[in-house]
Structure 1
Amino acid sequence: MTETVLTLHESPVSPVVLDSKIREIVIDASFPLTLALSAPKQSRCAVVVRIRQAGALTIGVKAEAGSRVTLLYWNESSAPITITEENEVYRDAQFKAAYVQLNPGTVAQSSKTVLKEPGAEALLQSAVIAQTEKQFVIDCIHEAGQTSGIMENYSIVLQGGRYRMEATGKIEKGARQAKSHQTSRALTFDAKQTASILPKLLIDENDVEASHATTIGQMDENQMYYLQSRGLSEDEAIRLVTIGYLLPIVRVSEDPDLQKALAQEIETKVNEVCLTSSK
């Protein structure tokens, strides 16, 4: 099977049908771009979406019944970008979306995932390094019962960075036995760095499972002391902790080769970003 890389310089006229042949979508647009993605019934796909440039990006994804969709969004743009995303997940479909934001440019992202029919599942993950302003609003809405929505957000805030995450899990009336869980963590290395996380649960049904966990804070001084006592400089310790903090996102893919490649790219990018930030 021949795998393909699809490069987009402008909005496609019709929706892009996701299948196992599409390995990567590269967005390299001088103007705002709108992208519609569709996964047919019972299809399987795992796609890396690389964002090289696009001042504004609008994405719509439809995961049809029984499909298995994994999308890894990798923002490489150094310019400010606004991202608006809306996903629809239908009966017994599994939708995974991972957002990797290690770039120095500002980001304002709004993402809404709607679980439309019973059996729909969504896993939404983010890994962020904030050197500048990074703002996210992520909603997972359960319109049907027996659905599952999980949100996991991990961020590192460096000098000059500002991070804000508003994550909402909403279970509508009648969506019995729905499960909505979220975890958000922000790690800072300086008291002057700014991070705010606003977790929300909006529950209109009784027979459900729902939870959220939030952690914001600086790295433990004892951990830093231990790492430096093993011969690491402060900058080396920060880089090591940052890499370990963000690596869980590579598990969004079930492909060992892709996991290894992503881990190497995260390590390389973190080293570059932390070195620039420390100057």
Structure 2
Amino acid sequence: MSTQTILPIDRQAIVELSKSRQEPEWMTNLRAEALELAGSLELPKLEKTRIDRWNLSSYGSYKSEGKIASLDALPESAKALLQTEEGQPVNVLVQKNSGIVYHSISEELAKQGVIFTSLEEALSSHSELVQTYFTSVVGKDENQLTALHTALWSGGVFVYVPKNVRVELPIQALFLTDDAEATFSPHVLIVAEQHSSVTYVDNFVSEGDLNQLIQNGVVEVVVKAGATVNFASVHNLNESVTDLSYRRAVVDNDATINWVIGEMNYGNVMSDTTSLLKGNGSNSDAKIICVGTGEQKLNVTTRAVHFGKSSSSDMITRAVMRDAATAIINGVTKIEKGATGTNGQQTEKVLMLSPKARGDANPILLIDEDDVKAGHAASVGQVNPEQIHYLMSRGITREEAQRLVIYGFLAPVVSEIPMEKVQKQLQGFVERKLGQ
């Protein structure tokens, strides 16, 4: 397979674009190498999902975007997603299509040595730091999608938190696409040094008919010893966007990664959220919600790989399927040899609201060590008619009864999300998707 058959762009075009953006030589070379790799690598093999049948060719091309003076220039629906402090959004970065259009960081964070900027800007001002970590967690050579992302990424976010610094307010990013001809593949890179902490929240939204655009995004999180990273992401892209997302964290000794993921898209979704628990006493907690409607196909994987002793992981996934939507929900707990004293737990549940909806929950335990704890629970089913009847017998309408059952099903995830704004966002998106 040649590179030209994958994308309407060749190696020379990638090189020239990188140079025109004044990227360092190492990034220019990396992009070119990745594009060549994409021609020989295969697509990822997903559980019970033929991703090769999806439209995976509409990446668009890089288009520069003009800056906006204030967030008031954003659509109201997008602006409403940003958290505010005393009525004003702080520590915010906005990407529109291929480029960054708005960025603000508080003086307090800057004085503490926190770096919060676009990845494009970080290539210029912190090149060596970015080079150390870029593709260190998600490699360019893993499959065709990661190779294409490395070659074509644009915009993106770079967060660096120095040792012992605790960021109290959330750092926020908004990724907005409204141009089907513009590349939309952000790269998020977060590095938390020893005993630091940070909360990062982002939203992916779309406007208008995008004619089968591909969002091929990657998140890399490096959590050093004793640090904590809270990562929340809600994707609400329309039916013309195919959303492909790899999120992965490397977690050191006594460090913690907390994931909150809301897959509220209307198009096909491949979502892979993984914690690599390299350190002793490392921790991972993942809470995933997804809602499928129409003829959506969703393949959602949550994974924890235990290397360190006494490491722990907990994964909870709830999926609600309506119409003719299909969901493959995978939970993978892998405990490597030598990871004694570890504890890995997972739960996957799928609720189907239509006879045509399909759901498949696949709990997987791969254990190469004896001195461990591991468990899983999984269920797939439709709304219990007895619950609906019971609620209706108390004077509640059928529609309201079904709504209560759905929210009761999602409550174990939503109620434990530590960020109230994210809770409300998820609830609003669920109501919108289910027409309630």
Q: Fold-level match, TM-score > 0.5?
A: yes
Alpha-carbon distance in structure 2 between the residues aligned to 1:69 and 1:77: 25
1:16 alignment partner, one of 153, 156, 159 = 159
Secondary structure of 1:145's match? coil
Farther off after superposition, 151-160 or 48-57: 48-57
Runs of 5+ consecutive residues of structure 1 not aligned to the other structure: none
Residue 41 of structure 1: aligned partner: 194
Q: 1:272 aligns to what? A: 432
> Residue 96 of structure 1: which of 258, 264, 282 is its match?
258
Pick aligned residue for 2:221 from 40, 61, 78: 61
Question: Which of 322, 327, 339 is equivalent to 1:163?
Answer: 327
Cα deviation, residue 73, structure 1: 0.9
Q: Distance in 2 between matches of 1:264 and 1:174?
A: 41
With over 3 angstroms needed to count, the CA separation of the structure-2 counterparts of 1:263 and 1:61, relative to structure 1, is: closer
Distance 1:187 1:140 in 2: 24
- Report the residue type matching 1:172 in the other structure: E
Unaligned runs of 5+ in 2: 1-84, 100-117, 123-157, 162-166, 207-213
Structural RMSD (CA): 2.1
Deviations 1:59-97 (A, max 9, x none): 111111111111111112112210012211111111100
> Could you say which residue in structure 2 is the equivalent of 1:201?
365
1:80 aligns with 2:246: no
Give the distance between the partners of 1:179 and 1:220, measured in 2 at CA: 32
Partner Cα distance (1:201, 1:215) in 2 = 16
Determine whether 1:229 maps to 2:393: yes
User: For residue 344 of structure 2, what is the aligned residue in structure 1?
Assistant: 180
Over 3 Å counting, the alpha-carbon distance change for 1:251 and 1:239 in structure 2 is closer
* Superposition TM-score, scaled by structure 1 size: 0.89
Q: Which stretch shifts more, 267-276 or 186-195?
A: 267-276
8 A Cα contact 2:200 2:230, kept in partner: yes
Partner in structure 1 of residue 94 of structure 2: 7
- Residue 217 of structure 1, CA deviation: 0.7
Distance 1:199 1:145, change over 3 A: same
Q: 1:16 to 1:100 in 2, by over 3 A?
A: same
Q: How many aligned residue pairs are there?
A: 272
Match of 1:138 in 2: 302
Deviation at 1:58, TM superposition (A): 0.9
TM-score of the superposition, structure 2-length normalised?
Answer: 0.59
The aligned counterpart of 2:291 is 129
Task: Answer yes or no: is the 8 Å Cα contact 2:190–2:220 preserved in 1.
Answer: yes
Give me the whole-angstrom Cα distance separating, in 2, the residues matched to 1:263 and 1:87: 23
Query: Identity, % of aligned pairs?
Result: 23
The question of whether the paired residues in 1 share the 8 Å contact of 2:217 and 2:245 is answered with yes
Distance 1:6 1:20, change over 3 A: farther
Report runs of 4+ in structure 1 exceeding 4 Å deviation.
none
Which structure has the highest strand share of the two?
A: 1
Whole-Å separation in 2 of the counterparts to 1:21 and 1:271: 28
Is it true that 1:108 corresponds to 2:251 in the alignment? no
Alpha-carbon distance between aligned partners in 2 of 1:75 and 1:120, rounded to the nearest angstrom: 27
CA pair 112-266 structure 1, distance change in 2 beyond 3 A: closer
For 2:431, what is the secondary structure of its paired residue? helix
Q: Secondary structure at the match of 1:275?
A: coil
Against the structure 1 CA distance between its residues 169 and 197, is the aligned structure 2 distance closer, same or farther, given a 3 Å change threshold? same
> What code does the residue aligned with 1:195 have?
G
